[in-house]
Chain A
């Protein structure tokens, strides 16, 4: 079981009664329909802790990550991260957070080097220093340096996701938001990424909020896990606590027993 060091007791993320509604209209004359993506989610993550959020498609994981990464504004509840409140302190918070999304989004005609330097400049980093750090991270992730100048569109999904992680780590953030970072990766790339995250946590003490479909990944990386279903946090605890509470032999059975849902690994997240 993963445990935290005694000194790591400060809270890095405090989410309380978080709500988000999307208003949609199916046609010009149709009435506005409300879809609640988050219906009052509360949880906390300690400094240096890795918190795994498990949930099927449509459970609200990506919406939650988008709110925490300041892209969406919540319709209710409070968020405090690294001592800053959202949305009031979003400009300051953005400089302290790294984010990796499920789709490894890049400017595909540009090389990894150009993509990373662009991101670094947006975060106000000095280009030479940013380049050095980017190259270090990419090498740690097992990317050959001769590929740094190839267009990203010529690279595999696994390589692209590694570059995406390197981009999130350019600013050496104390907080990392990972939205299904290993979905769609081959087993080797998946293991590389997981090993890198473990190493990062050990070296830097980075706080990580991780959403995933992969039970084994959650069990390997997360100190604590929250089960999200239909916009509500149904259960949380360590992997062992959740299994014990559900009386289930593994995490997947525990998830099914506690949420009444099954995880669908193939479909896209909302």
Chain B
């Protein structure tokens, strides 16, 4: 046990001396998490608010005077254009409205989702809707009828998702991905340094010639990687907790500008769990860290140099993107229990379920047991690699 701690302490001391590693491992997750969850939203919120408040030019062709008045009221400046589609494409106007034979055609740049043009299109749609409602009310009045005729009943939509899911926000599906990514990235720099790095420096031979059992060497290195992985995960969670509270309070107005009036939702992504939920996140992260450190150490040991080790480990982050895509649409799929026995996918699914407050005991039990089993197997394979001359002295 003593040797494990001596080796782990030395590995961590080497990390502490590399300030760059400390910054990327601890500070980056703390800043990245809230920025990823709220940064783009705030930019969008700010842009949306400015679009609402400022006046934009809209090309018009054959649009009647009352509609022009409504457009101006909606903070849109109508300008005559010869070719509406071309004017929008060339960005001479944010949108264009054409009226011919009782039909309005509205042009905007809509292919890229939420663009300024799309927001102006919404403003024009709002102006036309207001004009339409005005006309309908006028015609009903002419027939001696009230507008309540058009509304035989009222409809209210309420969010019935669990409290944790509501508080987590619409970007919450990204939290598991970031968490596993930071666990991997946090451990990666130490894992590379402790394996391929030692090979490249030539220090691995001195270490292996010392009277320390191989299992202790492996566990010492593993412990250092484990500590850095978990520190990175903790930094990410701290960033998420502090950042989300700061962002949601400081930028409430900007976030509000993005809300849909008919169906308000919590924007961004945050954690709002019961203590048991946090415990479940911690346990899942610990078990995942066990699995990932064994993989990182095996890959690092096989590599001849820092560069080679990094080229083996970096694709792991890309591999994790695939389950993320799956996770985004997980609500459309009926999750089978056996999914929670699949390595990596199970961790993402379990973390997602914990964040949403919908995790079942079977799902968590399967995830934890299978991750522990895969972690144990990966650790054994890493130990076998350490015993192989053709791996340790591969150069």
A94–B389 contact, CB under 8 A? no
The residues of B that contact A118 with a CB separation of less than 8 Å are: 6, 10
Interface hub of A22, A118, A123 (most chain B Cβ within 10 A) = A118
B205–A94 contact, CB under 8 A? no
* In the complex with contacts A72-B389, A123-B211, A109-B206 CB distance below 8 A: no
Q: Which partner residue on chain B sits nearest A177 by CB separation? A: B209
The digit string for B353-395, where 1 denotes a CB below 8 A from any CB of A, is: 0000000000000000000000000000000000001100100
The residues of B that contact A106 with a CB separation of less than 8 Å are: 201, 203
A23–B209 contact, CB under 8 A? no
Counting CB contacts under 8 A, is A119 at the interface?
yes
> Of A103, A110, A151, which one neighbours B202 at CB under 8 angstroms?
A103
Could you tell me which residues of chain B, from 1 to 47, have a CB within 8 Å of some CB in chain A? 3, 6-7, 10, 13-14, 17-18
A148 to B211, CA, bound (A): 25
* In the complex with contacts A123-B211, A167-B206, A110-B17 CB distance below 8 A: yes
Count of interface residues, chain A, beta-carbon cutoff 8 Å? 30
Counting CB contacts under 8 A, is A91 at the interface?
yes
Counting CB contacts under 8 A, is A247 at the interface?
no
The residues of B that contact A114 with a CB separation of less than 8 Å are: 13
Counting CB contacts under 8 A, is A220 at the interface?
no
A99–B206 contact, CB under 8 A? yes
**A106: min CB distance to chain B, Å:** 6
Q: Interface size for chain B: under 10, 10 to 19, 20 to 34, or 35 or more residues?
A: 20 to 34
A270 to B245, CA, bound (A): 59
A90 to B261, CA, bound (A): 75
Q: Which partner residue on chain A sits nearest B10 by CB separation? A: A118
- Per DSSP, are chain B's interface residues mostly helix, strand or loop, or mixed? helix
B17–A119 contact, CB under 8 A? no
A121–B203 contact, CB under 8 A? no
Counting CB contacts under 8 A, is B207 at the interface?
yes
Counting CB contacts under 8 A, is A73 at the interface?
yes
Counting CB contacts under 8 A, is A95 at the interface?
yes
* In the complex with contacts A23-B390, A73-B389, A105-B201, A119-B211 CB distance below 8 A: no
**A69: min CB distance to chain B, Å:** 5
The digit string for B211-249, where 1 denotes a CB below 8 A from any CB of A, is: 111000000000000000000000000000000000000
The residues of A that contact B18 with a CB separation of less than 8 Å are: 109
Counting CB contacts under 8 A, is A101 at the interface?
yes
B202–A119 contact, CB under 8 A? no
Counting CB contacts under 8 A, is B210 at the interface?
yes
Could you tell me which residues of chain A, from 92 to 147, have a CB within 8 Å of some CB in chain B? 94-95, 97, 99, 101, 103, 105-110, 114, 118-119, 121-124
> Of A70, A109, A124, which one neighbours B209 at CB under 8 angstroms?
A70
A94–B206 contact, CB under 8 A? no
> Of B14, B202, B210, B390, which one neighbours A122 at CB under 8 angstroms?
B210
The residues of A that contact B206 with a CB separation of less than 8 Å are: 99, 101, 105, 119, 167
The residues of A that contact B389 with a CB separation of less than 8 Å are: 72-73
Could you tell me which residues of chain B, from 324 to 339, have a CB within 8 Å of some CB in chain A? none
A94–B211 contact, CB under 8 A? yes
The digit string for B77-92, where 1 denotes a CB below 8 A from any CB of A, is: 0000000000000000
The residues of A that contact B207 with a CB separation of less than 8 Å are: 122
> Of B14, B205, B208, B211, which one neighbours A107 at CB under 8 angstroms?
B14
A72–B205 contact, CB under 8 A? no
Counting CB contacts under 8 A, is A200 at the interface?
no
A70 to B390, CA, bound (A): 15
Counting CB contacts under 8 A, is A230 at the interface?
no
A118 to B5, CA, bound (A): 11
A77 to B210, CA, bound (A): 24
The residues of A that contact B201 with a CB separation of less than 8 Å are: 105-108
Could you tell me which residues of chain B, from 306 to 335, have a CB within 8 Å of some CB in chain A? none
Interface hub of B7, B17, B18, B390 (most chain A Cβ within 10 A) = B17
A151 to B207, CA, bound (A): 19
Q: Which partner residue on chain A sits nearest B5 by CB separation? A: A121
* In the complex with contacts A71-B205, A122-B6, A110-B210 CB distance below 8 A: no
Which residues in A have some Cβ–Cβ distance to B below 8 Å? Answer: 22-23, 66, 69-73, 91, 94-95, 97, 99, 101, 103, 105-110, 114, 118-119, 121-124, 151, 167
- Complex A-B: 5 CB contacts under 8 Å: A23-B390, A71-B205, A99-B209, A107-B10, A151-B17
Which residues in B have some Cβ–Cβ distance to A below 8 Å? Answer: 3, 6-7, 10, 13-14, 17-18, 201-203, 205-213, 389-390, 393
**6 new A-B pairs (CB below 8 Å) besides A72-B393, A94-B210, A121-B6?**
A69-B205, A71-B205, A71-B209, A105-B201, A109-B18, A151-B17
